[in-house]
Amino acid sequence: MAQITEEQKATLSAIAKGYVTVPNKTPILETPADYGLEFQDVKFKAEDGIELAAWFIPAEGSDKLIICNHPATLNRYGWPGHMEPYNQFQDVEVKFGKVYKALHDAGYNVFTYDFRNHGESQASEDHGWGQGFYDEYKDVIAAFDYVKSHDNLKNMTIGLFNPCAGGGAAMNAMTQRPEYFEDVKAFVCPQPASINIMSKVALNGMGFGDHIDFFSEEITKARGLELEKMTPHVHAKNIKVPTFIIQNKDDVWTIPDDVQATFDGLTSLKEEDKKLFWIEEGDTRRFIGYNYFGENPEMMIEWFDKYMK
């Protein structure tokens, strides 16, 4: 390990805590009603008692359901990146309502929930968060349990729209509880995130690249997670659901090779049952990738239509 000062240790410890804690929730600024959609507010609990908040958006006459979640720090509305202080993190307003509207208009019911510590869901006692690779998988399972416990939902054909950490949580759940995914027909995952890679990119940019080992130790100390295992690469081989991944190729928070490795790791799938699309717009902001399917829903709808007949 490179020589490290006490001041550097303190800084890296604080950064590590920020990676595995969500102390503050971002506001929900829109509901499906803003897109002309009828919806129901829903509450349900994960197996460890955390109460989660969701919206159910019905599509009359449809027996197809897309279960949606969201990236870290966002919520089921999206991200208020047009407002202070959120624009200091990323100055892109993310509107998942556009995704829900596109899915609804294509004949899909939508069930979308906030992760623990996000949106209107309950915060865990220590605000613990693992970017999809900690207790978040319990929220994924809880959404399935809610769906399967309701007569109007339990027999629906299911697909998943799970971006970034939401996708990581779904992949983690596929490893932890594979039986839940036996009947899932399609998986759309915008920008799956490897925290080990993203943290290295960030630390290099801050001049702390020589101290990744100390940072990794702090992550483990704070949350009991091994940084090198905080990646979809660990879980990709366990994905048996036809999977469509997209990624902003110019995203400066990560590197294209990381997402390519996740895609290449989908070894349980036939070639025709996996797809990778690169967004190439010359914009380095990560969050434009979260808006892509809301603004360009055609490929997403085509994927779901293909597998959810």
pLDDT digits (tens, 9 = 90+) for 120-158: 999 999 999 999 999 999 999 999 999 999 999 999 999
| Mean pLDDT value across residues 255-275 | 98
**Would you state the pLDDT for residue 1?**
55
Q: 3-class secondary structure for the chain? A: CCCCCHHHHHHHHHHHHHHCECCCCCCCCCCHHHHCCCCEEEEEECCCCCEEEEEEECCCCCCEEEEECCCCCCCCCEEECCCCCHHHCCCCEEECHHHHHHHHHCCCEEEEECCCCCCCCCCCCCCECCCCCCCHHHHHHHHHHHHHCCCCCCCCEEEEECCCHHHHHHHHHHHHCHHHHCCEEEEEEECCCCHHHHHHHHHHHHCCHHHHHHHHHHHHHHHCCCHHHCCHHHCHHHCCCCEEEEEECCCCCCCHHHHHHHHHCCCCCCHHHEEEEEECCCCCCCCHHHHHHHHCCHHHHHHHHHHCC
- Give domain status of residue 113, yes or no: yes
What confidence score (pLDDT) does residue 255 get? 98
- Domain count within the chain: 1
| pLDDT at residue 23 in the model | 85
For residue 58, the enclosing domain spans 6-307
The residue-averaged pLDDT of 175-188 equals 98
pLDDT at position 245 is 98
Q: Say what the pLDDT of residue 169 is.
A: 98
Whole-number pLDDT of residue 264:
98
**Taking all residues of the chain, what is their mean pLDDT, rounded to a whole number?**
97
Encoded tokens for 218: 């702090």
Q: What is the spatial distance between Cα 239 and Cα 172, in angstroms, rounded to a whole number?
A: 10
Share above pLDDT 90 across residues of the chain, in percent, rounded to a whole number: 98
Does some domain include residue 28? Answer: yes
55 occurs within a structural domain: yes
- Domain CATH number, residue 186: 3.40.50.1820
Measured distance CA(115)–CA(136) in Å, rounded: 7
List pLDDT tens digits, range 91-118. 999 999 999 999 999 999 999 999 999 9
Q: Are 10 and 211 in contact (CB under 8 A)?
A: no
Question: Could you read off the pLDDT of 73-88 as tens digits, one per residue?
Answer: 999 999 999 999 999 9
Residue 296 lies in a domain: yes
Whether the per-residue pLDDT at 210 is higher than 70: the answer is: yes
In a domain, 208, yes or no: yes
Percent of the chain with pLDDT strictly greater than 70:
100
Tell me, yes or no, whether 1 lies in a domain. Answer: no
